[in-house]
Structure 1
Amino acid sequence: MSTLYDLDATTKDRTKVFESGEIPVAVYGLGKMGLPLAAVYAENCSNVIGVDIDPEVVNAVEAGDCPISGEPGLSALVEETVREGSLSATTNIKAAATESEIHVAIVPTLLDDDQNPDLSILKSLLKKVGAQIDAGDVVFIESTVPPGACRDEILPLLEEASRLNRGEFGLAFCPERTSSGRAIKDITGAYPKVVGGIDEASARVAQAVYESINDAGVIRVENATTAEMVKITEGLYRDVNIALVNELASVADDLPVNFREVTSAASTIPFINVHEPGVGVGGHCIPYYPYFVMNWLEGDFPLLRLARERNDRMPEFTIDCLQDQLASVGESLEGSRVLVLGVAYKPGVAETRATPAGPIINQLVKAGSEVFVSDPVLDDEKMGDFGGEVLPTSDILRMDLDAVVIVTAHEEFTEIDWTAFDPMVIINGRQSMSVDNDKHRIYTIGSGLESEGNL
């Protein structure tokens, strides 16, 4: 049995054998989170096979190129680890699993049509991996899964596929705690890694491996289910927090209150961290994780459902704000020429999953608006999938517009010369982006009407 999984081995023994490169590692999934993880693993143990079903991704990595954009330091790290022979890539799951002793799964866990957690991608992968693992191998799950999934779903699957019993191989849940645009920083020590094993040996292996990778250390929790709940709780906290400020932001006009001042002042005491209101919540995490509890565990969870409903309504609230502001100057949505600035869900990140831009564009089209879209981090094809006429950011100044809706606070948008536009209505959906111009009628969600403009 491997020194890693030997219960009598010391932490020093495990660290030494991991960092020596004697233990081959396979990282399954070379996406936005997986490739940075594989590269960091390779930097620390010099013996990593990255696995992905996309041949273009694999070919790029094999050539030392980085198919992921917007991640500082990643291109250089991929080039370096590939050149040194520390990192390779393949589409062959069976071959990688046969060769490796540490197996790291970081593939998507999405929702089905009924908003139930869909583990099919992860299960399909683990059936293939499990059929090749040997006694002493260890499986780390970095993919987010519902609480209890490792215990109730993944462990039995691996036992059946491998024909090994619990205790003959290791399994630990080690959730990624990584944000797009800062992946390497997060993986290597922005905050501690959380790990939880299905047994003592699994937990010790996970702790030793991730202490080698993460300078901030490891928080080892009681078991895999606890670690799963830690990851889910992080997302639920943010969803409920954002729902709170979105609800309060809806009354900014009536008070009136500038919520930029509210959040800034309220967050000056240690136990308060008020998020910012906005046009909605996007991405592959926060909009999904509430359903990992609501539609997986028994219970009603009224708070989680209400928060999700509130955040899902923000695109509609945004359209209502635009309609009200246009009406105040004698215009309507129908026939208006509206530019949507930002389709990606997050500044600087070419990711559109669950982006609030989608329902905003759909509602504008249904209302009869002539819609234009612009996003500096997305290609024309990806933007075009959402509808509207695609415009390069450099071309928007030539447009005769009735309104602009700012969905994403891309840095490039801060360079826009708003004085070059004729007076129009601007709905600023992100308080983090200032549009200080008396020429236009500007409504910022959470701050209300900031300029009546010259319309």
Structure 2
Amino acid sequence: MVDSTKPASGSRNIGTLSVVGLGYIGLPTAAMFASSGVDVIGVDISQRVVDAVNSGKAHIEEGNLDELVGRCVEAGRLRATTTPQAADVFIIAVPTPVAHDDSRLPDVSYIQSAGRAIAPLLKPGNLVILESTSPVGTTGMLADLLALARPDLSFPQQAGEDADICLAYCPERIIPGQMLKELVENDRIVGGMTPRCAERAAEVYKTFVRGICHASTDRIAEMVKLTENAFRDVNIAFANELSMICDDLGVDVWKVIEFANRHPRVSILQPGAGVGGHCIAVDPWFIVSSAPDRARIIRAAREVNDSKPEFIVAQVESALRRNPDASIACLGLSYKADVDDFRESPSLEIATVLSARYPGRVLCVDPYSHVLPAEEAEARGLSFADIDAAVDKAQIVVVLVPHSAFLACPRPEGAIVVDPVGFWC
């Protein structure tokens, strides 16, 4: 087993590397390069994030990341700033959300802003790598933006292999809780705008990646990333739809899945409260927006998963009809178990809806509640308590995320339990 937090023997002479965006992907990536002997400049618009990194701290909870960042900063290999600085390689790892309206259109404005920020710093020989999950064609869009900003330089869409600046797309393939290990061990798809661009980008990642770096084109690599997440979304949607059908029929979905999975060619996933996070809950919409008439299954899967929170709220309200004055405990608000990420969390939305409809009667429990900004929790009307207090007070207990911190809590006697994740099944 590779120790993914142990510095490698040295860099591949790639020069100074700048990571633009120090979030859940950018910071671990920056730390892995720095631990491998590369001089890394991290860039983020948040002064809080920059200050945390420069003090040797990770602003997110992720395995040994805090220790790794501290080691890299102490060694002088990693520093952070709010203003981009000159480098030899630029990696852009900024968010790509979708509109929160019926259009669900992708928002690439953060990528555009990052491109405009680094454009004045570019010099011949630079390599720009986009890591942000993006609609097909975004790398080309970024190249056009940079070419417009820097007419004194040539880019791959203009000069092919002879371009002054190389551009590539290399999406992350990691899961929260295992980021450092998977950054090292997983294969990478390296999509260059030309073969030379792909080769140069692959050499950069081989600084610490032990998996295979598969060379491809930027558009194929963009579609691969979206395909991976859409595949998972469709399979989760099947499980979530099945759980709602079984509930209507009065059938135990957990037993149905257990026995169906004994078939040698069946592997049904576990249903849950919906789909959250900044990947699976978002990325399939990029495919839908690119091919709205073709992406029928992908769109349907998104709609099924997005409807699951409403179904759970309806289950709670059904329980309330049996006990109209009941207090409610919502266990788990982050988007998945044992991570401190609340982005696109269906559990957070469920707790918010219930808190608004039944003010003063909902207590929330999450081991990572300290990560949720206090002003956001207040705006959502959320009240937090420890698990013992919440469960003791509640007549309805809703398990939304099966955090391991909840394992010691027995199924409450006398309470109505709504358990869409099968925690006490």
TM-score normalised by length of structure 1: 0.83
Separation in structure 2 between the aligned mates of residue 84 and residue 41 of structure 1, nearest angstrom: 13
Separation in structure 2 between the aligned mates of residue 25 and residue 128 of structure 1, nearest angstrom: 15
Does residue 1:416 correspond to 2:409, yes or no? yes
Which of residues 153, 156, 160 is equivalent to 2:148?
160
Partner of 2:128: 139
Aligned partner letter, 2:97 = L
Change (3 A) 1:198 1:269: farther
Aligned partner letter, 2:120 = A
Partner of 2:7: none
Partner of 2:196: 201
Q: Give aligned-pair identity as a percent.
A: 31
Separation in structure 1 between the aligned mates of residue 262 and residue 76 of structure 2, nearest angstrom: 48
Q: Deviations over 1:283-303 (max 9, x none)?
A: 111111122121234534221
Does residue 1:102 correspond to 2:89, yes or no? yes
Partner of 1:64: 56
Task: Return the offset for 1:142.
Answer: 0.6
Separation in structure 2 between the aligned mates of residue 38 and residue 268 of structure 1, nearest angstrom: 43
Partner of 1:386: 380
Aligned partner letter, 1:123 = Q
User: Pairwise mapping of residues 103-118 of structure 1 onto structure 2 (< 5 A)?
Assistant: 103-113=90-100, 114-118=103-107
Does residue 1:216 correspond to 2:211, yes or no? yes
Q: Deviations over 1:334-365 (max 9, x none)?
A: x3211111111111222212111243234434
User: Pairwise mapping of residues 361-400 of structure 1 onto structure 2 (< 5 A)?
Assistant: 361-365=351-355, 367-368=357-358, 370-379=361-370, 381=374, 382-399=376-393
Does residue 1:177 correspond to 2:185, yes or no? no
Separation in structure 1 between the aligned mates of residue 89 and residue 258 of structure 2, nearest angstrom: 45
| Equivalent residues of 2:399, 2:420 under 8 A apart | yes
Which of residues 413, 416, 425 is equivalent to 2:416?
425
Q: In terms of mean alpha carbon deviation, does 126-135 or 373-382 score higher? A: 373-382
Change (3 A) 1:89 1:405: same
Change (3 A) 1:50 1:271: farther
State the secondary structure of the residue aligned to 2:333: coil
State the secondary structure of the residue aligned to 1:318: helix
Change (3 A) 1:412 1:300: same
Structure 1 residue runs without a partner (length 5+): 1-17, 436-455
Task: Return the offset for 1:187.
Answer: 0.6
Q: Deviations over 1:1-49 (max 9, x none)?
A: xxxxxxxxxxxxxxxxx82546110011111211110000111233111
Q: Deviations over 1:243-264 (max 9, x none)?
A: 1111111222465543334444
Change (3 A) 1:58 1:363: closer
Structure 2 residue runs without a partner (length 5+): 1-9, 156-162
Separation in structure 2 between the aligned mates of residue 268 and residue 123 of structure 1, nearest angstrom: 49
State the secondary structure of the residue aligned to 1:111: coil
Change (3 A) 1:271 1:132: farther
Does residue 1:317 correspond to 2:311, yes or no? yes
| Equivalent residues of 2:12, 2:207 under 8 A apart | no
Task: Return the offset for 1:366.
Answer: 5.5
Does residue 1:33 correspond to 2:25, yes or no? yes
Partner of 2:274: 280
Task: Return the offset for 1:124.
Answer: 0.7
Query: Aligned Cα RMSD in Å?
Result: 2.4
Separation in structure 2 between the aligned mates of residue 127 and residue 143 of structure 1, nearest angstrom: 16
Partner of 1:336: 326
Partner of 1:128: 117
| Equivalent residues of 1:46, 1:85 under 8 A apart | no
Separation in structure 1 between the aligned mates of residue 299 and residue 12 of structure 2, nearest angstrom: 48
Partner of 1:404: 397
Partner of 1:234: 228
Separation in structure 1 between the aligned mates of residue 244 and residue 77 of structure 2, nearest angstrom: 52
| Equivalent residues of 2:319, 2:396 under 8 A apart | no
User: Pairwise mapping of residues 9-24 of structure 1 onto structure 2 (< 5 A)?
Assistant: 19-21=11-13, 23-24=15-16
Separation in structure 2 between the aligned mates of residue 154 and residue 105 of structure 1, nearest angstrom: 11
Does residue 1:345 correspond to 2:339, yes or no? no
Partner of 2:246: 252
Aligned partner letter, 2:175 = S
Q: Name the larger-Rg structure.
A: 1
